[in-house]
């Protein structure tokens, strides 16, 4: 049986060691390369999975992978990101991709790796939600409308997924900030309104009517 092979792309020795340690329980062969070598490796030797340090600019790493895919390479990628890069993070839909926040547990990193290397085996039935032509995969952070991908940012997706999985209950902006953005977020509550508008626009009228505004209170997802 072919052993899966992973390339770890990182210049920082601590990052390489953290990833290698997390892969200790995963039956894979490992290789490493510097960030400056990544573009060439993606084109000539992408392996079964590339784990790349995206730091605060994951879009650059994902962009390199998308260029390689356009050139005919078969790419699967897991990108390491900083927590403060999540607000603008967009995970590509043209190839299998996922992310992990720097400092995540070894168990989470291993789970993300297994999900990319052996897709389908890690998704339980209750992790896929279907509504009016919309498919929401809670395991892969992906959403589709009638088979076409919806490119949510991480926070747009997180807000939408939270409301969908807690239907028919009103949540105030303050509660949504705590549950979606986290207790360390100090921005204004109106950022929730901005993200709700973006989510509705991307969903389209067929589905967006379910995301209701409750005047002077907050929002709910109507099932």
| pLDDT interval class at 80 (50, 70, 90) | very high
- In this structure, the answer to whether residues 67 and 147 fall within a common structural domain is no
| Neighbouring C-beta atoms of residue 2, cutoff 10 Å | 6
**CA atoms within 13 A of residue 34's CA, in its CB half-sphere:** 2
- In this structure, the answer to whether residues 90 and 141 fall within a common structural domain is no
The pLDDT value recorded for residue 1 is 40
Residue 81, pLDDT above cutoff 50: yes
Q: For the chain, what percent of residues have pLDDT higher than 70?
A: 93
Measured CA to CA, the distance from residue 196 to residue 5 in angstroms comes to 41
Whether residue 182 contacts residue 188, with contact meaning beta carbons closer than 8 Å, is answered with no
* DSSP SS3 for 124: coil
- In this structure, the answer to whether residues 150 and 190 fall within a common structural domain is yes
Domain-terminating residue out of 78, 100, 117: 117
Measured CA to CA, the distance from residue 152 to residue 186 in angstroms comes to 22
- The CATH number of residue 62's host domain is 3.40.50.2300
- In this structure, the answer to whether residues 31 and 101 fall within a common structural domain is yes
Pinpoint the alpha helices (H) of the chain: 13-22, 38-44, 58-70, 106-117, 154-164, 173-176, 190-203, 205-208
Domain-terminating residue out of 95, 117, 139: 117
- In this structure, the answer to whether residues 81 and 133 fall within a common structural domain is no
Give the chain's end-to-end CA distance (angstroms, integer): 46
Mean pLDDT of 93-116: 89
Q: For the chain, what percent of residues have pLDDT higher than 90?
A: 44
In the predicted model, what is the mean pLDDT of the chain? 87
Q: At what angle do helices 154-164 and 190-203 cross, to 10 degrees?
A: 80
Q: Is the pTM of this model over 0.85?
A: no
- In this structure, the answer to whether residues 100 and 132 fall within a common structural domain is no
- In this structure, the answer to whether residues 97 and 19 fall within a common structural domain is yes
Mean pLDDT of 162-172: 91
Mean pLDDT of 83-88: 86
- In this structure, the answer to whether residues 65 and 161 fall within a common structural domain is no
- In this structure, the answer to whether residues 213 and 142 fall within a common structural domain is yes
- The CATH number of residue 178's host domain is 1.10.10.10
Per-residue tokens: 158:
């997180």
pLDDT tens-digit readout, 32-71:
999 999 999 999 887 899 999 998 889 999 999 999 999 9
Residue 83, pLDDT above cutoff 80: yes
Tell me which residue has tokens 């730091």: 55
**In Å, how far are 13, 117, 190 from 96, measured between CA atoms?**
26, 9, 34
Q: For residue 133, give its domain range.
A: 125-221
Per-residue tokens: 151:
């490119």
Whether residue 72 contacts residue 101, with contact meaning beta carbons closer than 8 Å, is answered with no
Structurally, how many domains does the chain consist of?
2
- In this structure, the answer to whether residues 11 and 108 fall within a common structural domain is yes
* DSSP SS3 for 12: coil
3-state secondary structure 128-189: EEEECCEEEECCCCEEEECCEEECCCHHHHHHHHHHHCCCCCCEEHHHHHHHHHCCCCCCCC
Domain-terminating residue out of 88, 117, 146: 117
- In this structure, the answer to whether residues 101 and 26 fall within a common structural domain is yes
- In this structure, the answer to whether residues 135 and 201 fall within a common structural domain is yes
pLDDT tens-digit readout, 109-159:
988 898 888 775 444 556 788 888 888 888 777 888 888 889 888 889 889
Task: Give the pairing of strands 142-145 and 148-150.
Answer: antiparallel
The pLDDT value recorded for residue 186 is 63
Measured CA to CA, the distance from residue 32 to residue 52 in angstroms comes to 10
Residue 2, pLDDT above cutoff 60: no
Per-residue tokens: 71:
């050139």
The pLDDT value recorded for residue 123 is 47
């Amino acid at each position: 049986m072919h052993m899966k092979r992973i390339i770890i792309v990182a210049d920082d020795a601590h990052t390489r060691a953290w990833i290698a340690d997390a892969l200790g329980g995963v039956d894979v062969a490992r290789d490493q390369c510097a960030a400056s070598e990544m573009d060439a490796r993606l084109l000539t030797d992408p392996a079964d999975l590339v784990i790349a340090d995206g730091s605060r600019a994951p879009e650059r790493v994902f962009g390199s992978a998308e260029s390689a895919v356009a050139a005919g390479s078969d790419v699967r990628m897991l990108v390491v990101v900083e927590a403060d890069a999540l607000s603008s993070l967009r995970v590509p839909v043209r190839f299998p991709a996922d992310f992990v926040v720097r400092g995540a547990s070894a168990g989470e990193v291993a789970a993300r790796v297994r999900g990319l290397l052996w897709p389908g085996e890690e998704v339980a039935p209750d992790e896929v939600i279907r509504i009016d032509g919309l498919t929401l995969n809670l395991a892969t952070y992906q959403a589709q409308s009638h088979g076409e991908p919806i490119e949510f940012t991480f926070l747009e997706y997180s807000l939408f997924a939270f409301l969908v999985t807690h239907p028919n209950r009103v949540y105030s902006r303050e509660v949504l900030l705590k549950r979606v953005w986290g207790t360390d977020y100090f921005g204004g509550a109106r950022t929730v309104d901005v993200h709700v508008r973006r989510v509705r626009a991307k969903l389209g009228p067929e589905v967006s009517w379910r995301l209701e505004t409750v005047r002077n209170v907050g929002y709910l997802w109507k099932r």
